[in-house]
Structure 1
């Protein structure tokens, strides 16, 4: 583990206890939960599917997917996040598998999935291009890659939001535009589309002024 990766792990471990206080993390408000449930229903297969949730955090999206009948595997670098996710699914009476590991190289062996979901993670990766290639290799033919990302900070803000020391060296530090992600993903997939998510305040628990979007690709 590199010094930067260790710092990122420590950062998210420390953030885990209060992580769900953010409306779009904990999904405690009914309107926010319903907004994400609606999106996941549109993005996920209509039949029970194997879904890999990378950078799963405390498992809020995993809960929604499991409740919809999908078989969910969550991966997060931070052990405390994984513990919270396990507890959250157990409390909901749902089943899922959660693993501590690097989202860039998920510890799932040769398994393949019908959908790979990743929310707000690619900007934290030292080599996002390599991770995208790795992820596409984890998806079954005809499967889907769903990336929920953004360029963090309100309109007009020139500096990225504070993060761990050394994060300025990350290729997509502070978030990444939809155009840049689409350019990286397009050669790896059969087709893709981008959905803007900035205008739906219910998703975030408040209006936002930065760029937020989902990229949905088909292999």
Structure 2
């Protein structure tokens, strides 16, 4: 990794131990797990599918996908996040591959997936447009790109400043649904968005910012 990637990995390593404290990260509450499970079942093609979870963090969504019978590959840049994801899946008796690597350019070789999933990842990337191209390139014809994103209200300053710094990132603060759809549309055959801000079970309570899912279908050729 270059110095920039090393700094970003170190940031996420520092927050790995407390990452699951957030209701929508750890999914400790049953109603929150069920809310995410319902959404994932609607977004990911039916039947056992090959799913790439980029920026998988501690693996909470990878775990839900594996429980649904999908063949999951997770990727994360931070070694401690990867360690926690692997432990979470192993403890549940589920099989998934969790790789250490750059989520913006997943180390999956020429493998193609039925679905690529990313949640709250794009704001962290120095080149989110290139990441979108990389993810679409890893989809099988007709596969699904599922992006859970938002446009965030300013958050309190973290005790550990982000490595970039955050204000220099192209999509610092997130990106709205219309703007992300415009970025994804030239890369795919079909794009739709679903508002998620009002689904309180997903987040563990009310949220005031824009949160949504974007679901795009890869071209057949």
Where on the TM-score scale, by shorter chain, does this alignment land: which range? over 0.9
- Across the two proteins, how many residue pairs are aligned to each other? 215
| Alpha-carbon separation, structure 2, partners of 1:218 and 1:62 | 20
Give the structure 1 partner of residue 33 of structure 2: 33
Give the structure 1 partner of residue 177 of structure 2: 178
CA shift, 1:3, in A, is 3.7
SS at match of 2:38: helix
CA shift, 1:41, in A, is 0.5
CA shift, 1:11, in A, is 1.1
- Kept in 2, the 8 Å contact 1:160–1:173? The answer is no
Deviations 1:32-64 (A, max 9, x none): 000000000101111101000000000000000
5+ residue gaps, structure 1, are none
Give the structure 2 partner of residue 87 of structure 1: 87
> Could you say if the C-alpha distance between residues 200 and 146 of structure 1 is closer, same or farther in structure 2, counting changes exceeding 3 Å?
same
Deviations 1:52-82 (A, max 9, x none): 0000000000000000000000000101000
| Alpha-carbon separation, structure 2, partners of 1:199 and 1:7 | 35
- Kept in 2, the 8 Å contact 1:161–1:174? The answer is no
Give the structure 1 partner of residue 55 of structure 2: 55
Range with greater deviation from structure 2 (54-63 or 171-180): 171-180
CA shift, 1:169, in A, is 1.1
Give the structure 1 partner of residue 162 of structure 2: 164
Please give the root-mean-square deviation of Cα atoms over the aligned residues, in Å: 1.4
SS at match of 1:116: strand
CA shift, 1:168, in A, is 1.2
Counterparts of residues 50-199 of structure 1 (less than 5 Å): 50-153=50-153, 163-165=161-163, 166-199=165-198
CA shift, 1:175, in A, is 1.0
CA shift, 1:14, in A, is 0.7
SS at match of 1:25: helix
| Alpha-carbon separation, structure 2, partners of 1:8 and 1:36 | 27
CA shift, 1:161, in A, is 6.1
- Kept in 2, the 8 Å contact 1:4–1:167? The answer is no
Range with greater deviation from structure 2 (100-109 or 173-182): 173-182
Deviations 1:148-183 (A, max 9, x none): 011111xxx5x8965515221110012111111111
5+ residue gaps, structure 2, are none
Runs of 4+ in 1 over 6 A off after TM superposition: none
TM-score (norm 2): 0.94
| Alpha-carbon separation, structure 1, partners of 2:22 and 2:124 | 19
> Could you say if the C-alpha distance between residues 32 and 174 of structure 1 is closer, same or farther in structure 2, counting changes exceeding 3 Å?
same
Give the structure 2 partner of residue 213 of structure 1: 212
| Alpha-carbon separation, structure 2, partners of 1:47 and 1:147 | 20
